[in-house]
Amino acid sequence: MVAERRREIGIRIALGADRGRVLALVMGQGLVLTAVGIVAGLAGAFALDRLIAALLFGVQPTDPVTMVAVVATIALVATVACWIPAWRASRVDPNLVLRDD
């Protein structure tokens, strides 16, 4: 997404958007998708808990500790995966981006 919107981000920075706002914009979009995925995954896990129970041994399908650990791990990985391109996007030089065309 950041590579596709590189020109837009360069224009935003050229028009005065500070780097923190660009970082927040990109992070926000990525984390919204992550939140939707987590909610859909949890809903699916609870809806299919009888099917999942047949595949698990020694752990309940809706074990709260396991669910929290999985959600926390996914959220942490997604945050890092969103932060790296967001940081790069906030460091874009508008002169170089606008000259590419």
Per-residue pLDDT of the chain (101 residues; tens, 9 = 90+): 887 888 888 888 888 888 889 899 999 999 999 999 999 999 998 888 888 888 877 778 788 898 899 999 999 999 999 999 999 888 888 888 888 76
What pLDDT is attached to residue 76?
A: 97
The residue among 30, 73, 70, 75 whose CA lies nearest residue 46 is 70
Domain ranges of the chain: 6-93
What pLDDT is attached to residue 101?
A: 62
CB 9 within 8 A of CB 2: yes
What pLDDT is attached to residue 78?
A: 95
